[in-house]
Structure 1
Amino acid sequence: MEKKLKNPHWKPDFGPAKFNARSGATVIGAREFLIAYNITLNTREKQYAMDIAFELREKGRSARQGEIGDIYMRGELLKYQKEHYPCGDCSFVGKTFQETVDHCQQEHQYDLTELLSMHEIDPQNPVGQSVKTPGIFKHCKAIGWFVEEYGRAQISINLTNYKITPAHLVLEKARELALKKGLIVTGSEIVGLIPFQAIYQAGKYYLEKQGRSIGVPVKDIIDIAIYSMGLNDVTPFKPEEKILGLPQIERGKLISMNTAELVHEVSRETPAPGGGSIAALAGSLGAALASMVSNLTAGKKGYEKDTKELIQLADQAQQVKDQLLKGVDEDTDAFNAYLEARRLPQNSPEEKKFREEAIQNGLKEAVMVPLNTTRLSLEALKIARRVVEIGNRNSVTDAGVGAQIAFTGVRGGIFNVLINLPQVTDQQFIKEMKDTCSKLEQEAEKILQDALKTVHAVIAKLSEK
């Protein structure tokens, strides 16, 4: 450690670069999430898997020439010689190593010295070493092996930054390379966990490849990713166990109830769930209807020019819908927090002060939650209004209902903001909330009237036929 600290590369982020033999050192590192990912082939031949792995991985492989055939590594190795420095990607041969370095940078856009370092070759002395050519994907490490348990060869991959090199793109390139060798990728497997965003983006990718809308529920997108990537090929893929950060509905939450259970729960003699939760639910239903009509229309004859926008609207509606669904429980939770504050003891001046502060904080939270419902429901209303305008004429009433019920979410949220303000003591906060609600309500009323006017016009035109 003492020797390492003399190297500028090992300079501490905090504190002096001086070794303390008595205390030692604490080293903390962080990196992007690593996805351990295997791609399975319909062969027992390990060399096929190795061949594809070397072409995929960032560090690439040794360049070869001669009779190569289906397996590249059977070719004759190219080596650097004095005054003879071949490029691994074309016929160029430099008289000096620097000439070849410059050629690789200019013609093939990679750093040859960095590539050789990945293979633990000294760029200052490459003579006698094999020529290297880079692989396709950055942040990708891969080898090939035979798995006795499956009776098949696999490409074993570590993706060290899935945001730059996602698993689904590596899989598609592997499928392409395998096909050229007469092979088929039978599926793939996640070893350990995969972040939600990684598999969510994969699902969207495959939906887009199919020309389908990405504005569908999260579960549908995850299912598409699982089927498209063949994640059940060699072992069962259980989303709830394998996906890190998978959105899930907790047991006991209002939105985990079926329709009848929720309606019955609202009808009971308890103050929550009440209007705030139902306002959030109304807004989410408005967004859902807007998404439905967008998806029904996208790609259909006569609506081709609006398909791209309709898919975007469906995707936006899904996001708004999911946020409002969370609001169904958040409103009830905020009200319950306020009730808990009211139950705090008040036997001393200190306890009374603490209780009053908790009540005021609880009231403000009970205001901010429905205000968020109002804003999100307004977004749902805007989407529904646009879908009314460009969606399928035969579904215009569905979009109209979406607009109407989204407006209920807006107004219901405002009601729940205003009902909580009289008990708030912060007068500036009260003024800001009233002004905000007034502006939001006026904007929503205008949008709703525009949407309903269009709905009635379309119905009247359809009735003439």
Structure 2
Amino acid sequence: MNTTKEECVTLSKKLGKKVGEELKIPVYLYEDSASLPERVSLSNIRKGEFENFASKIKSEQWKPDFGPSEIHPSAGVVAIGCREYLIAFNVNLGTDKIEIADRISRSIRHISGGFRYVKALGFRLEDRDIVQISMNMTNYKKTPLFRVFEVIKSEAERYGVPIVGSEIVGLTPLQALAEVAEHYLRLEKFSCSAILEKRVLDFIADRDK
């Protein structure tokens, strides 16, 4: 937690160089490590999917940052970069109509004009007979969970559909959830330092330096 973003960018470039030169795997740097603006987004790098990458990698525009300009026969291509924590956040809707999830997903994801740091798709959960808005939150500091949740709730109400649940898949930063509590509980002058477990962990980290 004490490592700076600049240090992570430097490490990612060193790793990319090592992977490219020693393992002969094409490497693209992305997000904060990106060498070009069009390589910041991983989806831009992946565009065309693996089937079309053999020709894409040969073009000057998409020459790898490190390694050869040809796909490795067993390892393929790798993207390495420094980025903010990614939170996999899903919201479940009380309907089986996938078109509603698709419409709401389009309204919140960046590529369709929504939130800058949200990637979203609608999915059907066959076992529960409902639909889900599945999201990757790529920068919770600039686009907090509660803000996206409120927009989804508002959009769902337009279609007469309730939110029946939400979930976070995998790990998430404490700060992201603390912001949700601060927002919905209207906490005044609140910070993560007021959380007992956070204070204990900080104490242990300082003690072990």
Q: TM-score, normalised by structure 1?
A: 0.27
Q: Structure 1 residues 26, 189: CA separation in 2 closer, same or farther (over 3 Å shift)?
A: closer
1:39-438 superposed matches below 5 A: 39-60=91-112, 134=113, 136-208=114-186, 212-215=187-190, 217-218=194-195, 247=198, 249=200, 326=203
Structure 2 residue aligned with 1:7: 60
Q: Structure 1 residues 18, 188: CA separation in 2 closer, same or farther (over 3 Å shift)?
A: closer
Partners in 2 of 1:20 and 1:9 — Cα distance? Answer: 9
Residues 5 and 11 of structure 1 are in contact (CA less than 8 Å); yes or no, is this contact kept in structure 2? no
**How many pairs align?**
147
* 1:161 shift after superposition: 2.0
Q: When you count strand as a share of all residues, which structure comes out higher?
A: 2
Q: Secondary structure of 2:92's match? A: strand
Partners in 2 of 1:36 and 1:5 — Cα distance? Answer: 33
Structure 1 residue aligned with 2:51: none
* 1:199 shift after superposition: 1.2
Q: Structure 1 residues 27, 142: CA separation in 2 closer, same or farther (over 3 Å shift)?
A: closer
Residues 38 and 155 of structure 1 are in contact (CA less than 8 Å); yes or no, is this contact kept in structure 2? yes
* 1:18 shift after superposition: 8.0
Residues 58 and 69 of structure 2 are in contact (CA less than 8 Å); yes or no, is this contact kept in structure 1? no
Residues 39 and 187 of structure 1 are in contact (CA less than 8 Å); yes or no, is this contact kept in structure 2? yes
For residues 361-392 of structure 1, the C-alpha deviation after alignment (integer angstroms, 9 at most, x for no partner) is: xxxx9xxxxxxxxxxxxxxxxxxxxxxxxxxx
* 1:6 shift after superposition: 7.0
Q: Secondary structure of 1:29's match? A: strand
* 1:149 shift after superposition: 3.0
Q: Structure 1 residues 188, 27: CA separation in 2 closer, same or farther (over 3 Å shift)?
A: closer
Unaligned runs of 5+ in 2: 1-25, 27-53, 71-76
AA paired with 2:60? N
For residues 130-170 of structure 1, the C-alpha deviation after alignment (integer angstroms, 9 at most, x for no partner) is: xxxx2x21121111122123332111111122222222111
Q: When you count helix as a share of all residues, which structure comes out higher?
A: 1
For residues 401-458 of structure 1, the C-alpha deviation after alignment (integer angstroms, 9 at most, x for no partner) is: xxxxxxxxxxxxxxxxxxxxxxxxxxxxxxxxxxxxxxxxxxxxxxxxxxxxxxxxxx
Identical positions, percent: 30
For residues 98-146 of structure 1, the C-alpha deviation after alignment (integer angstroms, 9 at most, x for no partner) is: xxxxxxxxxxxxxxxxxxxxxxxxxxxxxxxxxxxx2x21121111122
Q: Structure 1 residues 47, 249: CA separation in 2 closer, same or farther (over 3 Å shift)?
A: same
Partners in 1 of 2:139 and 2:120 — Cα distance? Answer: 14
Residues 90 and 168 of structure 2 are in contact (CA less than 8 Å); yes or no, is this contact kept in structure 1? yes
* 1:175 shift after superposition: 0.6
AA paired with 1:59? I
* 1:214 shift after superposition: 4.6
Unaligned runs of 5+ in 1: 61-133, 220-245, 251-322, 335-364, 366-465
Q: Secondary structure of 1:54's match? A: helix
* 1:247 shift after superposition: 3.2
Q: Secondary structure of 1:44's match? A: coil
Partners in 2 of 1:18 and 1:179 — Cα distance? Answer: 50
* 1:40 shift after superposition: 1.1
Q: Secondary structure of 2:115's match? A: coil
Partners in 1 of 2:110 and 2:148 — Cα distance? Answer: 11
* 1:215 shift after superposition: 3.5
Residues 109 and 115 of structure 2 are in contact (CA less than 8 Å); yes or no, is this contact kept in structure 1? yes
Q: Secondary structure of 2:185's match? A: helix
Residues 5 and 18 of structure 1 are in contact (CA less than 8 Å); yes or no, is this contact kept in structure 2? no
Residues 38 and 157 of structure 1 are in contact (CA less than 8 Å); yes or no, is this contact kept in structure 2? yes
AA paired with 2:89? Y
Q: Structure 1 residues 11, 199: CA separation in 2 closer, same or farther (over 3 Å shift)?
A: same
* 1:177 shift after superposition: 0.7
Partners in 2 of 1:137 and 1:26 — Cα distance? Answer: 27
Partners in 2 of 1:36 and 1:179 — Cα distance? Answer: 23
* 1:179 shift after superposition: 1.0
Q: TM-score, normalised by structure 2?
A: 0.56
Residues 63 and 69 of structure 2 are in contact (CA less than 8 Å); yes or no, is this contact kept in structure 1? no
